[in-house]
Amino acid sequence: MSLFHTVSAPPDTGRELLVLATLLATVTISLPVKVPIRTRSATHATAWVETAIVIGVAVAPTAWVVLCTGLGVAIATRIMRLSLIKTIFTVSKNMLLAAAAGLALALLDWDWPPDRLGHIVAPLAVAYLVAALLDEALAIPVVAIASRTPIRHQFKTNWDLRIIGFAVRFVVALVTLVLLKVEPWLLVAVPPLALSLHLAYSTRVRARAERQAWQRLAHTTDALNVVDLDAVLHTAVAQAANLFSADEVEVELEEAGRTVRGNSETITYDGSPDQPSAINGTVIPIELKGYDDTAIGMLRLRFHGPVKLSERERYTLRTFGSALCTAVRNATAYAELNRVAEEHAHAARHDALTGLANRRQLLDRGAEQLGRRRTEGVMALLLIDLNHFKEVNDTLGHAAGDRVLTRVAERLRAAVHADDLVARLGGDEFAVLFHALPAPAVAAHRAETLLSALHEPIDLDGMRISVEASGGIAVAPSSGGMTELLRRADVAMYQAKRAGRRIATYAPTRDTADLGRLALGGDLPRAVAEQEFTVNFQPIVDLGSGEVVSAEALARWRHPARGTIDPLRFLETVERSGLLPAFAEAVLDQSLLAVRTWREAGFDLPVAVNVSPRSLLDARFPGAVLARLRAHDLPPDRLVLELTETLTLSQLEVVDQVLGQLRDAGIRLALDDFGTGYSSLSVLSRIPVHELKIDRGFVTAMETSAEATAVIRSTVDLGRSLDLAVVAEGVESEPQRRTLWELGCTAGQGHLFARPMTAARLLSALQQGAEGRPGTLAPALHDSGAVVRLSPGRRSGPRRPERLPHLPA
């Protein structure tokens, strides 16, 4: 069969001229109908020419189609004012497509019109596939060479959209031929169909281009978030070249007298602005301006050929220029700060203002101590932040603020031990690294001493300025190093600030990073409604006689999925949930019910219940407590409320009223964890308590630490002088019990006597007793009537035997 086949109809000159004119007009019109995609200064446009070509070779001789294609494309390129070389390439390529498509049909013995409609699809698909593949093979390498991009990258870019475009245009060609065979007058529906498909396809291409452009812009601006100026400039050049598909990007900084040029792959120039660029094409400049509208330089996009940015690209360019200006300013400021720091000989490891260690020395010393902490005791970090320090700067000026910081540094340096390190981390933030502590609880005691030293007013030009501070304590973790230790201390410090306290100790259960704790919040309403909160009791024992004198109520959550949950893991969540009153009432009810049960069995024991600081802010709390006592028919002195973390709260009028009402009603008050938090004489003078409870950390450490023993002795002496009972927590051994008793501590609780248990089990233990003595859990230290030689400190106590004030005679 001849390549240049003819249609099967008899020759008709008029008809042939009509076909020729139609082909010519169709090719001429179809070329400008395209979807352009720019890569640098080159543009790859997807047009409808191959559709017209395939339809033409299907119904007309191939030679006619080739000639009409060449003439029509030539006319269209002149109308579009393309360059001569682009015109030649476009005409040649499309004529070659027409010849290849005609050859494909000829090889398939194509003849128009076919006998059956089903014979149209397969040959037409082959011809269209040949034209489409040849179009890609000819156009993409030329675009890649013109844009200086890899050919493989060009083939991969938007390949799915190109396939969809080919399919759409093939469907139009197929529909056109089917209508031409079935009913030619229906061809009037083809132009609207083609236009609709073209618009839909164009919209999809533009939508993808927009989405990819914004994604690239977001990625580009994120990449500029570095503080090194060289990195900012080099990153900006590479990212802008990719973002705007530019052949070269130039950043010029006027004040620095510096110009950086390059492309997406490398930096080609970094020096003075005197050296011109080697690219002589289109230049698109934009001033680098920030929020204050002050220009710091210029950003220029360079292209080898003519390029006109779209409205979206111009907006993107302005956004990128603003982000680059901000990044340059930030990096410049950071570089200036580093330059100033490096100018001071002492600044490498010390703070220039105060002479204290700086962050670097703190981190180095901490890392060194962490390496040998197994043999040198406990290491802890105290982070201190001055409260309201900004007011000093704003009111008296920064010079006065610097003098305050210097005085604070002097006081901290004078108050620490020789092995401890005091550092200023910046601004009004200080840190103290405690070394070789005998126990974690000692860190809280030392921290209290340090912050108390800061509490004394500072004389400043005849003015007395009070310095208040918040502190966070963290013990060195088993992993994470100094970075984790600093983070934990920082968490604790902000917990202290939020709670209005002077000191807070880091607890994993209160770390906001604990998502498991936060997840419990959703289960709280069910837990309250279904009474999942239970109470265990740990007896408090007279250290001398072994007699049980009271019991502490310890709340537990019997979670159906997570098992028993300690209050440290859920209490803060309860406080924040708004369910605190219901939770407190449930614990109080169970505790008072246990007291009633023990009393009826002959054991009249008070019960100690912990109170949340938030409950003290509720003026209705005393009434609710007294109502529960009346409901269980119990006298008020059978209830002891243990207060924790209440120092700053105690300065609030509503808290004073609440505590006053509770004490006036006969309810006893105890101050828990004494010696580890914000506990001092000023607190005891404000809060009307009856008991002091020594933290278990001091009890554990007293056998090896003279400091811990001194804290216990001072607490006992304080309690004796104020006529307060003193209870030691965490008594684990007989030597601890004897030492505490000899120091003057009257009562204690811990595993030596009993672990927390249910009310029924405690009653059973009381009934059984120790050595046949009901109501006791341990043998007496001395036989009745024996002569005991007391320590000097204990001999100086009251003449009568010391008992818990809330016990019956």
Domain of 634 in residue numbering reads as 528-795
Q: Is there a domain that residue 733 lies in?
A: yes
339 and 365 co-located in one domain: no
This prediction has a pTM of 0.45
* Non-local CB neighbours of 792 within 8 Å, separated by 6+ positions: none
Question: Over the chain (809 residues), what is each successive 10-residue block's mean pLDDT?
Answer: 39 50 57 51 57 78 81 77 80 84 84 73 84 80 66 67 72 73 53 53 63 73 83 88 84 88 88 86 86 83 82 83 87 81 67 88 86 72 87 79 90 90 90 88 87 84 81 83 86 81 80 57 77 91 94 89 74 74 90 95 94 83 93 94 63 75 92 65 71 89 86 90 92 93 93 93 92 90 58 42 33
For residue 318, give the CATH number of its domain.
Answer: 3.30.450.40
- Nearest-CA neighbor of 79 among 25, 35, 5? 25
275 and 316 co-located in one domain: yes
Residue with tokens 């974690």: 440
370 and 255 co-located in one domain: no
pLDDT of res. 185: 52
403 and 302 co-located in one domain: no
Q: Is there a domain that residue 406 lies in?
A: yes
Residue with tokens 């009745």: 784
pLDDT of res. 683: 61
Q: Is there a domain that residue 35 lies in?
A: yes
pLDDT of res. 373: 59
For residue 479, give the CATH number of its domain.
Answer: 3.30.70.270
pLDDT of res. 598: 95
Strands 563-565 and 34-39, by their bridges, are: unpaired
Q: Bridge-partner residues for 230, per DSSP?
A: none
d(CA 308, CA 425): 52
d(CA 332, CA 327): 8
* Non-local CB neighbours of 786 within 8 Å, separated by 6+ positions: none
Q: Is there a domain that residue 589 lies in?
A: yes
d(CA 273, CA 315): 27
d(CA 140, CA 148): 12
707 and 683 co-located in one domain: yes
Phi, psi of 797 (to 5 degrees): -80, -170
DSSP state for residue 508 in the 8-state scheme: G
Q: Is there a domain that residue 804 lies in?
A: no
Sign of torsion over alpha carbons 787, 788, 792, 795: negative
pLDDT of res. 374: 56
Q: Is there a domain that residue 307 lies in?
A: yes
Asked whether 276 and 282 are in contact (CB, 8 A), the reply is no
With residues binned 3-state (H G I as helix, E B as strand, rest as coil), the percentages for the chain, rounded to 5, are: 55, 20, 30
608 and 726 co-located in one domain: yes
Q: Bridge-partner residues for 431, per DSSP?
A: 383, 423
233 and 194 co-located in one domain: no
Domain count, the chain: 4
